[in-house]
A and B are shown apart, each in its own frame.
Chain A
Amino acid sequence: MNNTDPLAVFRVEAQELLEQIEQGLLDLERNPQDSELVAQVFRALHTLKGSGAMFGFEALSAFTHHCETAFDKVRKGEAVATPTLIGAVLSALDHMRTLAESPDAATDGGEALLADLHKAMEGEAEAEVAVVSPAQKTWRIRFSLPADCLVNGTRPLSLLDELRGLGEADVAAVVDNVPELGALTPAECHLAWDVKLTTTQPRSAIEDVFIFVIDDMRLEIAEEPAVLSDENDKQKTAKTPAEKTVADNVTALDSARKPAAEEHVPDSATTQHHTAGETVRVPAERLDELLDQVGELMIAQSRLKQVSATNADVNLRSVAEEIERLASELRDSMMFVRMVPISQLFGRFRRLIHDLARDLGKNIEFVTEGETTELDKTVIERLADPLIHLIRNAADHGLEMPAERKAAGKPETGRVLLSARQAGAEVVISVIDDGHGLNRDKIRAKAEENGLIQPGAVLSDNEINQLIFQPGFSTAANVTSLSGRGVGMDVVKRTIDGLRGAIDVSSKPGQGSQVDLRIPLTLAIIDGLLVRVGEGRYVIPLATVEECVELTTEQDQRSTGRNFLTLRDALVPFLRLRDMFATGTDPDRYQKIVVVSTGSERVGLVVDQILGHHQTVIKPLSRFHAGVETFSGATILGDGSVALILDVLHLVAVGQQQEERLRAAG
């Protein structure tokens, strides 16, 4: 814990801070008056500057200083977060990123950025007179501290000084709870205070004063209704905290003079806005290592189970069962640890939209939903690129220019909605725009031109929609700098395939389009149903299994040629895995059908025997076998032999094709 390289820690921290600053700025763009946001951006800039200097990133620290200065003014109400200022700091952020990555990088462009920043601030100074200073609020703060606070080293008087540092404070002690002498334990604190504070600082700054005791104390902070006339005038003269400190004949101590908003405890103060709880930062590789080890443990446990099953020793069996339980709990916890909210990912796109709107000259409203949906962290990382493509595509090709939208009777501001939700064993991420929708004629023409489909081929709407994910497909008449770049939507398909997910596209002319990415919840370990086909053993992901039924000899013979099974009045196509895998053995007398589904579509898989439930650590197939579509991976069984994992998505598709062929044939 103590031997973590401080430099590495700083780099991670710097990226997080930059991220926070960016988010804060983008939020400010919408709510320029939000003093919490201003304080948040200022704190992050301030920390970045401080830590940067501590770890030898002088260039970063010096550069950040200018942005911090600008925001300090905004914070004190001496300037306003205008779009120009926000834009200038946003541009500066990219430069700061470079400096945080390589402290000695040439500082090209840095000066131009600073010039922009200063210009933004100067414009601000001129406009200042016209500007309404950030709203001053009056808070009624009542608090009492835990009884042992004095023994534990808390100094209430310095807390009061800190409150005074925030603005105009009117402090009255409340002694109502002080007992009589006989009942008094003199080292305990029975005092309370009632403070009227007029400040431009946000509520969080008040809470920050009590940061060390806030969980154990009584603290009420209520906003007082605005007071009228002379009282108000008096407050106006109070001005900023710095100007005011000497007002009382009490000398505020140095530390108290600094507004508490600056009090910075990394994981409670700064990140509180994003994640409520505390976090430990662990390098991602360690989690991967841990997961690998959990996987190995699952395999060893499964061998132990086999050994104990054939052993008469009751003690051994009970230990084996205990270990099985613990191992599966460990696996679950492990999966849980790796889950991170998708907000981490969604946040990145706001900047993208900001830049897209500017470069394309479109008005874009970006809405996100379901940001708390959790996904495995490796999945989240891999989703970044596909989503960038989809969002770019939606903004660039989906949304119309404001004039065009107006002409079509739509609001001039287009909308891109990014949503995530969990549906069963998968997470569905949707990118929805309210633009003109996919032009299927154009897509078809382009696909024919590129030889992706035969001219005149009969394709469903969905099939046409899916064409945009084919390699080399691009409908943009003019490839813009944004969506061009030589990579097409096929990247999206490749990545989603790699995650064993699926893509659905729907579109309505004039109303917009929607792309759903359906991602299976867990990657590395799944619950599987172990089956035997011929002499081989295979794993079917349990999440896809609907039911298991027997294939009677009668059904078997009747259905030869037409592989359909009537399941509660529905025809379900089935696949004879024995035939597909060319086992060359005689079928088992009692074959079984495992009915699997992917959402609405079902298919039955005929197997020789169902062996039971198996927790499966997925090992990817070697590159050499990557082209084999029927299997999505392999796993090692308890006895050390290998079982292949069936790719249900693929098999269902095969089953559906078979159904369509047969239907077409009548």
Chain B
Amino acid sequence: MASILTVDDSASIRQTIKIALGNEGHEISEAVNGVDGLQKADGGNFDLIITDLNMPEMDGLTMIRELRKKPDKAGMPILFLTTESDAGMKQQAKDAGATGWLTKPFASDQLVRIVGKVLAK
């Protein structure tokens, strides 16, 4: 069981993630944008963060960069959700320090598998 933070402005996506990963026995916390995500990440000890890229207040790219500046977040897997078509976006997110991605739309078993992949130590 892992402690996972999901950062997305879409309640339905957060809900989808919560149900899928909750069923696997993970503990899910939620944040609604990058600023909220940073605060929650600071206040908790998460095994994984799953974040959207397009969000109000602070986008996912900025949040990933901020997270990676923090020494205690080194090595923590960060997955981003993307619907972006251009490889550029994916590369930017990877350069910012993301571990991997999941392309929307996704089925829950894909999510579970990808999460399993990055959580494996």
Q: Which residues of A contact B (CB under 8 A)?
A: 1-4, 6, 9-10, 13, 47, 50-51, 54, 148, 150-155, 157-158, 161-162, 187, 211-212, 215-216, 253-256, 258, 262-268, 277-280
Contacts and interface: CB of A to CB of B under 8 A. Distances in A.
A168 to B, nearest CB: 20
Given A9-B105, A266-B103, A152 B117 contact: no
Given A2-B12, A50-B107, A280-B85, A152 B98 contact: yes
B109 A50 contact: yes
B77 to A, nearest CB: 4
Contact of A54 (B75, B108, B117): B108
Contacts of A254: 116
Contacts of A268: 103
A4 B13 CA distance: 11
B120 A265 contact: no
Contact of A278 (B9, B87, B99, B102): B87
A277 B90 CA distance: 12
Contacts of B114: 263, 265
A221 to B, nearest CB: 19
Contacts of B100: 211-212
Nearest to A268: B103
Given A13-B105, A47-B110, 9 more contacts: A3-B10, A4-B105, A153-B77, A216-B94, A255-B113, A265-B110, A265-B114, A267-B103, A279-B85
Given A50-B108, A51-B107, A151-B74, A158 B12 contact: no
Interface in B76-111: 76-78, 83-87, 90-91, 94, 97-110
Contacts of A264: 110, 113
A265 B103 contact: yes
A154 B54 CA distance: 23
A422 to B, nearest CB: 25
Interface string B37-76: 0000000000000001010000000000000100000111
B111 to A, nearest CB: 10
B80 to A, nearest CB: 11
A569 B110 CA distance: 70
A256 B74 CA distance: 23
Contacts of A158: 117, 120-121
A152 B68 contact: yes
Contacts of B9: 2
B107 A161 contact: no
Contacts of B83: 1, 280
A339 B57 CA distance: 37
A47 B113 CA distance: 12
A13 to B, nearest CB: 7
Nearest to A253: B120
A192 to B, nearest CB: 19
Contact of A148 (B52, B90, B97, B110): B97
Contacts of B99: 152-154, 212
A213 to B, nearest CB: 8
B4 to A, nearest CB: 13
**Which among A47, A152, A158 has the greatest number of chain B C-beta atoms within 10 A?**
A152
A9 B103 CA distance: 13
Top 8 nearest A-B pairs by Cβ distance?
A: A255-B116, A153-B77, A153-B99, A158-B120, A212-B100, A2-B10, A280-B85, A51-B107
Given A2-B10, A152-B97, A256 B105 contact: no
Given A2-B12, A151-B68, A258 B118 contact: no
Contact of A153 (B52, B76, B103, B113): B76
11 contacts: A1-B54, A9-B105, A54-B109, A155-B77, A155-B118, A155-B120, A158-B120, A212-B100, A212-B118, A254-B116, A280-B84
A564 B119 CA distance: 81
Nearest to B83: A1
A3 B109 CA distance: 21
Nearest to A146: B94
A336 B100 CA distance: 31
A404 B22 CA distance: 66
A211 B100 CA distance: 8
A158 B120 CA distance: 6
A253 to B, nearest CB: 5
A427 to B, nearest CB: 25
Contacts of A253: 116, 120-121
